[in-house]
Amino acid sequence: MNKYIAELVGTFWLILGGCGSAVLAAAFPEVGIGLVGVSLAFGLTVLTMAFAIGHISGCHLNPAVSIGLCVGGRFSSKELLPYIVSQVIGGVLGAGALYLIASGKVGFELSAGFASNGFGEHSPGQYSLVAVVVCEIVMTMMFLFIIMGATDERAPKGFAPIAIGLGLTLIHLISIPVSNTSVNPARSTGVAVFVGDWAVSQLWVFWVAPIIGAVLGALIYGFIQKDNK
C-alpha cells in the first residue's frame, strides 16, 4: 500500500506543481514565467519526487510510464492497475487543490482551459488532431526511452532523476504549443474532470497516444540494449 500512496502523492505534486505553474504563474502580469517556466516546473516536479519516492514506488506518476515499464520488463503486471488508479486519483486531487487556489482570484473561469490538453481549437497553437496524436506518441516514446536508459543497471548511479526531469522539461519546451503537453493520462484526466465539456470529450487522445508512445519507447530501448549487455 505504501507504493500506491507514494504514487498518489507524487502525481498530486506533479499536477499541482506543473499545471499550477501554468494556471497561476505563466501569464501573471509583468512577472509571468511563460512557457519556459512551465516546462521547467513540470520537470522539477518529477525531479523532486524521483528523489523523494523513487526508492519507494519507482516514481512513475504516469499510467503510460507504468504500462511502458511493464512492457519493457521493468515492472510487475500485477501492480499495474493499482498504480494507474493511484495516479489518476492523485491527479484529480492535485487538480482539486489547484482549483481551490485558482478560484480564489476574481475573474477566474474554467473556460480558460485550466491547463487542459486539447487539439483543434483547444490546442494552444490550433494544431490538428493528427499533429497532436503524432506529437504525443513521439514525445512519450522518447520519455520512456530516456527513463529506460537512465534507470538501466549499467547507467551512472544516482543521476536518473536529473535525466528524467530534464527530459520532461525538454518535452514540454517542444510540445506545449501543440497539445499543452500531456504525455501523461493522469495529468490530462485530473484537470479535464474539472473543465468537463470539450476537455473530457478530447481526453481519449491523451490516454491512447501516450500509451502507444510509451509501449514503442520501451520496445525500441529493449531492442537496442538486448545485445549490448
The per-residue pLDDT string of the chain (229 residues; one tens digit each, 9 = 90 and over) reads 899 999 999 999 999 999 999 999 887 666 678 899 999 999 999 999 999 999 999 999 999 999 999 999 999 999 999 999 999 999 999 999 999 999 999 888 888 889 999 999 999 999 999 999 999 999 999 999 999 999 998 888 889 999 999 999 999 999 999 999 999 999 999 999 999 899 999 999 999 999 999 999 999 999 998 766 5
DSSP assignment of the chain equals: -HHHHHHHHHHHHHIIIIIHIIIIITT-TTT--HHHHHHHHHHHHHHHHHHHHHHHH----SHHHHHHHHHTTSS-GGGHHHHHHHHHHHHHHHHHHHHHHHTTSTT--GGG-TT---SGGGSTT---HHHHHHHHHHHHHHHHHHHHHHTSTTSPTT-HHHHHHHHHHHHHHHHHHHHS--S-HHHHHHHHHHH-HHHHHTTTHHHHHHHHHHHHHHHHHHHHHTT--
- Residue 30: what pLDDT? 67
- Residue 184: what pLDDT? 97
Which residues lie below 8 Å from residue 22, measured CB to CB, with a gap of 6+? 38, 41, 115, 180
CA 48 to chain centre: 14
- Residue 223: what pLDDT? 92
- Residue 29: what pLDDT? 66
Instruction: Check if the beta carbon of residue 72 is closer than 8 Å to that of residue 151.
Output: no
Domains of the chain: 2-225 (1.20.1080.10)
d(CA 133, CA 2): 34
Which residues lie below 8 Å from residue 203, measured CB to CB, with a gap of 6+? 117, 188, 189, 192
Give the HSE-up count for residue 213: Cα atoms under 13 Å, Cβ half-sphere: 30
Cβ density class 133-172: b for 16+ within 10 Å, e for less: bebbbbbbbbbbbbbbbbbeeeeeeeebbebbbbbbbbbb
d(CA 149, CA 144): 8
The grid coordinates of residue 102 equal 485558482
